[in-house]
Amino acid sequence: MTDQVTTRTDAQTDLQHEAARLGALPAAPLAMPRQRLEHVPLRTRLARLRALIAPRADA
Amino acid sequence: MADPRPYGARGAALGASLGLAAGAFVLFFAQRQTGGLWVEFARSLLILMATFWLAWGAAQALLGLWPGSGATPRRAEPKGRCAILVPVHEEDPRATFARIAAMDAALAETAQAGQFDFAILSDTRSPSGAAREASWYLRLLRDREAQGRIFYRRRSSNAGRKAGNIEDFLKTSGAAYEFALILDADSLMSAETIIEMTRRMAGEPRLGLLQSLPGVIRAGSVFGRAMQFSAALYSPVFARGVARLQGETGPFWGHNAMVRVRAFAESCALPDLSGPPPFGGHILSHDYVEAALLARAGWIVRLDPDLTGSYEEGPENILAHAKRDRRWCQGNLQHARLLAAPGLLQWSRFVFLQGILAYVSSLFWLGFLATSILAPSLRVAPDYFPLPGWSFPVMPPNETARTAGLIIGVLGLLVLPKLLIAVQAIRSGRAAGFGGPVRLLTSTLVEIALSSITAPIFLMFQTRSVLQVLSGRDGGWPAAARGEGRLGLIESWQASRWITVAGLAGLAAAWKLSPELTPWLLPVAGPMIAAPLVIWITSLPCRIPFAVPSETAPDPILARQESIGASWASLTDADPAPSHPEPLHA
């Protein structure tokens, strides 16, 4: 019984590997820049500004 | 092809809808009863919102009926290749891959055969589902001799769900293609339509997305066939109205649409929204947002309702429909977060608002019914002689007359467009596809009766969905319910007994608080009380002879799919593929 289940699972795995091999997508990468849909909160803007200014202030 | 900047159509539709809504408000508030002013105001406001939504739908139908077909779309021979994308998530691979095989076979017989590849993009998580897919994919490859032309990829993570699935493909392989036709697992399109879409895309370099109008096919139940008839008869007219309203800021319905890969890649990588679901996280109704983002980037998004030969399957029972609607409801309400998104066109914001209203309007109707039941109990005794020295009695406003006026108005806005569409179909000769004028009219009347019975049930399901989303409950990503939709009476009862209880409670409240309204509430409360029966009966095989063009004059692609499906029917899921795949031709 256990052998039968193991054999079936192995066969399924083989089929999936075969499907993945034969069905591999063409390699032709394309960039997809993430879009912005939310306004940046004021707190975040201020934090960014602070981060921008801080090194100069140190200098 | 629609006017690119349809300000006239938009103004007319908005003006008419707002005018009718204001009329309904005045009718109710001007004739308010003495006492309970806030209830009278609230219900007048609710009827204003609900009437606006109904009138807006009617205006779209009337715009669609308006004569004139617009300019002929420009066409050119495409130079690049087109990927036909089939995202799947726990679907029946036998049925889905039979559709792919049919489309591939149809395309193979055209001169453009070499321009198309298929990509099956799996998000299936269950090991058994993945094994079935792999097995049926190998069968598909062998039958179609399609290695290098029909691809199959299963993601290790479902990040971004369907939108993320498409994005993953474009990031991996997008540069190989000029266009991508985005399908659903139940989509089917004729080769002619696919090729025509590539020509229209090539003919208009600013066109970022072209949406076809999918017709519903293969319905078998009472509910399914009524929906199929409704989609075949009314949808082309409503779609023409939508196209005229939206112009170059058109809709994307998520499938049976072609995109320009470069435009889509540049503009449509969706971010997750801040915060947890249902309002934060992954964007559920991604298609509306992608259309808005394409428009924001300056691309044309167009719906061409004349693109027939585009099909999908619909839910076969009310519960399957309600399940799908729950997902759409959450997606549309989530768009409230995007109303003020930076840089969107105003029309795109309005489209988001429309989507929200489509669901929130259920609350308006239910609120209106509740306040109407409540209002009479807050009344003070009428004063028939309010003016000193005036000897004639002043009669209080007649609640029954108002209710009758409302029902006539609602029926007018809901039913009149359908009847006008049926009449136009008869005048234009389109009725032949529906079995001739008599059968068309009979089917229309039966569909109107059926949709009137099911409307209060959908009202309750939609109200529940809206309340669930507003209370923060995430609906998740359930697999689509397809195939035979026959339900048992017990199953129907278990899923809808709360509607029965709500209907009985509403009727009892009306009887107690406003007895004169009780008969007028029956068209709403009756179907609610009988919801389990209605849901069960409408899920049974249909004996009503709804005829539709896809059956009276079937597209050859349907027969091709049936034939492939029949040849695969004898194969078991366990072993559809040869144990040792034969050498495949590239």
Q: From B471, B522, B532, B534, select the one nearest B501 (Cα to Cα).
A: B532
Helix H or strand E segment including B38: helix B37-65
Q: Are strands B116-122 and B215-217 parallel, antiparallel or unpaired?
A: unpaired
Q: Are strands B179-182 and B82-88 parallel, antiparallel or unpaired?
A: parallel
What is the tens place of the pLDDT at every residue in B243-267?
A: 999 999 999 999 999 999 999 999 9
What is the tens place of the pLDDT at every residue in B380-438?
A: 666 666 666 666 666 666 666 777 777 788 888 999 999 999 999 999 999 999 999 99
- Residue A39: per-residue pLDDT: 85
Domain ranges of chain B: 82-316
Residue B582 pLDDT exceeds 50: no
Buried b (16+ CB within 10 A) or exposed e, B427-449: eeebbbbbbebeebbbbbebbbe
Contact A33 B581 (CB under 8 A): no
Q: Locate tokens 């299963």: which residue?
A: B154
Q: B572 versus B528: which is more confidently predicted?
A: B528
- Residue B291: per-residue pLDDT: 98
> Can you tell me the distance from the alpha carbon of B354 to that of B343, in angstroms, rounded to the nearest whole number?
19
Contact A16 B131 (CB under 8 A): yes
> Can you tell me the distance from the alpha carbon of B164 to that of B352, in angstroms, rounded to the nearest whole number?
21
Backbone phi, then psi, for B211, in 5-degree steps? -100, 130
> From the list A16, A33, A39, which residue is nearest B269 (CB)?
A33
CATH number of the domain located at residue range(s) B82-316 in this protein:
3.90.550.10
Joined tokens for residue B72: 């002929």
Q: B70 versus B505: which is more confidently predicted?
A: B505
Mean pLDDT of B318-339: 96
- Residue B384: per-residue pLDDT: 60
Residue A8 pLDDT exceeds 90: no
> Can you tell me the distance from the alpha carbon of B445 to that of B262, in angstroms, rounded to the nearest whole number?
47
> Can you tell me the distance from the alpha carbon of B479 to that of B496, in angstroms, rounded to the nearest whole number?
21
Mean pLDDT of B112-123: 96
What is the tens place of the pLDDT at every residue in B338-376?
A: 999 999 999 999 999 999 999 999 999 999 999 888 887
Q: Is this complex's ipTM strictly greater than 0.85?
A: no
- Residue B581: per-residue pLDDT: 45
Cβ–Cβ < 8 Å for B548, B432: no
Cβ–Cβ < 8 Å for B154, B122: yes
> From the list A24, A30, A36, which residue is nearest B170 (CB)?
A30
Give the sheet arrangement for strand B179-182, strand by strand: B150-154, B116-122, B82-88, B179-182, B257-260, B207-211, B300-303
Q: Which of A9-23, B22-36, B80-94, B331-345 has the lowest mean pLDDT?
A: B22-36
> Can you tell me the distance from the alpha carbon of B189 to that of B209, in angstroms, rounded to the nearest whole number?
17
Mean pLDDT of B529-547: 94
> From the list B152, B170, B342, which residue is nearest A19 (CB)?
B152
Contact B293 A31 (CB under 8 A): no
* Strand extents, DSSP E, B116-274: 116-122, 150-154, 179-182, 188-189, 207-211, 215-217, 257-260
Contact A34 B269 (CB under 8 A): yes
Give chain B's mean pLDDT: 91
Contact A28 B135 (CB under 8 A): no
Distance of alpha carbon B23 from the chain centroid: 29
Tell me, yes or no, if B512 comes closer than 8 A to chain A by beta carbon: no
Helix H or strand E segment including B192: helix B191-203
Burial of B471 (0-12, 13-18, 19+ CB in 10 A): exposed
> Can you tell me the distance from the alpha carbon of B84 to that of B210, in angstroms, rounded to the nearest whole number?
14
Contact A32 B172 (CB under 8 A): no
Residue B15 pLDDT exceeds 80: yes
Residue B580 pLDDT exceeds 50: no
DSSP-derived secondary structure letter, B481: -
Distance of alpha carbon B208 from the chain centroid: 22
Cβ–Cβ < 8 Å for B188, B311: yes
> From the list B268, B274, B577, which residue is nearest A15 (CB)?
B577
Q: Locate tokens 């409307």: which residue?
A: B455
Q: A29 versus B545: which is more confidently predicted?
A: A29
Mean pLDDT of B223-228: 97
> Can you tell me the distance from the alpha carbon of B461 to that of B455, in angstroms, rounded to the nearest whole number?
10
Tell me, yes or no, if B126 comes closer than 8 A to chain A by beta carbon: no
